[in-house]
């Protein structure tokens, strides 16, 4: 899928946010992890610096770090103004207030930019897009998808969601997706069809409450494991 940089608001989250959004244990953080739709998150750079093994994919990686940062800087004030204009939609628990959130997003972008060239050279950042990823079956222990599936349910079709989740099942032994709400802070109508598809395949999707909440009510992730097929 090709994307235009103008259509993406490249906001990224930190390792601490990924830990809270996905309830990542110290053991989880030693796994071979795929971050799908990682954008300018600093999760890969921060966890790699601590000895972790993360591959991040995103169509955004067709652009340079400078281009991604310029797009971020061009959209930052607009996005912060939208957040401040809709106080009823936000929960200030993980981030104490919008000023803290803004500083966090700037810091994450700086960390991402500092890591991107080196990480791209060592294939930690790969340009790739759901619903088809260039990986072998079961290549990752854990696939994470933050703020892409379900969040963009108003833009991405139900079929796209089913195909994308099927692809994550193919390449990972466990999948976690956060949040389960749309950009308009409504529960995504794609969650139930995705769960139905997974159950029809004998899997056991669980909706789990997590400690991260920024969108009000957006403190749930979907997780499921894929048993390895008998050899």
- Is position 147 an interface residue for ligand SAM (rule: CB under 6 A)? yes
Map the footprint of ligand SAM across residues 123-142, applying CB under 6 A. Answer: 129-130
- Is position 193 an interface residue for ligand SAM (rule: CB under 6 A)? no
- Is position 161 an interface residue for ligand SAM (rule: CB under 6 A)? no
Closest CA to 178 of 142, 138, 129, 135: 142
Give me the numbers of helices (H) and strands (E) for the chain, helices first please: 6, 7
Closest residue by beta carbon to ligand SAM: 39
- Rule CB under 6 A: choose which of 39, 45, 119, 205 binds ligand SAM: 39
- Is position 148 an interface residue for ligand SAM (rule: CB under 6 A)? yes
- Is position 153 an interface residue for ligand SAM (rule: CB under 6 A)? no
Distance between CA atoms of residues 168 and 180, nearest Å: 16
In the chain, which ranges are continuous DSSP H helix?
15-21, 43-49, 65-85, 98-121, 158-171, 191-200
Name 125's bridge partners: 56
- Is position 218 an interface residue for ligand SAM (rule: CB under 6 A)? no
Closest CA to 128 of 40, 48, 62, 43: 62
Number of residues that bind ligand SAM (CB under 6 A): 20
- Rule CB under 6 A: choose which of 5, 32, 59, 183 binds ligand SAM: 59
Query: Which lies closer to ligand SAM via its Cβ, residue 162 or residue 229?
Result: 162
Q: CB-side exposure of 149: number of CA atoms within 13 Å?
A: 30
Query: Which lies closer to ligand SAM via its Cβ, residue 4 or residue 231?
Result: 4
How many of the other CB atoms lie within 10 Å of CB of 66? 10
Under the rule (CB under 6 A), what is the footprint of ligand SAM? 1, 3, 8, 10-13, 36-39, 41, 58-60, 129-130, 146-148
């Amino acid at each position: 899928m090709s994307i235009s940089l103008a259509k993406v608001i490249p906001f990224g989250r930190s390792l601490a946010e990924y830990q809270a959004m996905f309830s990542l244990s110290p053991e989880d953080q030693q796994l071979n992890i795929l971050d799908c739709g990682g954008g300018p998150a600093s999760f890969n750079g921060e966890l790699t610096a601590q000895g972790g093994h993360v591959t991040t994919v995103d169509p955004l990686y067709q652009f340079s770090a400078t281009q991604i940062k310029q797009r971020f800087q061009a959209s930052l004030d607009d996005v912060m103004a939208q957040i401040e204009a809709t106080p009823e939609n936000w929960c200030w628990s993980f981030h104490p207030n919008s000023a803290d959130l803004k500083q966090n997003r700037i810091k994450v972008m700086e960390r991402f930019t500092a890591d991107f060239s080196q990480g791209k050279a060592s294939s930690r950042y790969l340009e790739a897009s759901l619903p088809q990823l260039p990986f072998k079956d079961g290549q990752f222990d854990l696939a994470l998808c933050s703020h892409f599936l379900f969040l963009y349910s108003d833009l991405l079709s139900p079929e796209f969601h089913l195909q994308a989740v099927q692809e994550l099942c193919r390449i990972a032994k466990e999948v976690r997706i956060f949040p389960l709400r749309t950009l308009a802070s409504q529960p995504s109508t794609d969650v139930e069809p995705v769960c139905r598809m997974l159950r029809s395949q004998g899997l056991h999707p669980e909706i789990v409450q997590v400690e991260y909440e920024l969108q009000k009510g957006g403190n749930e992730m979907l997780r499921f494991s894929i048993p390895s097929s008998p050899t």
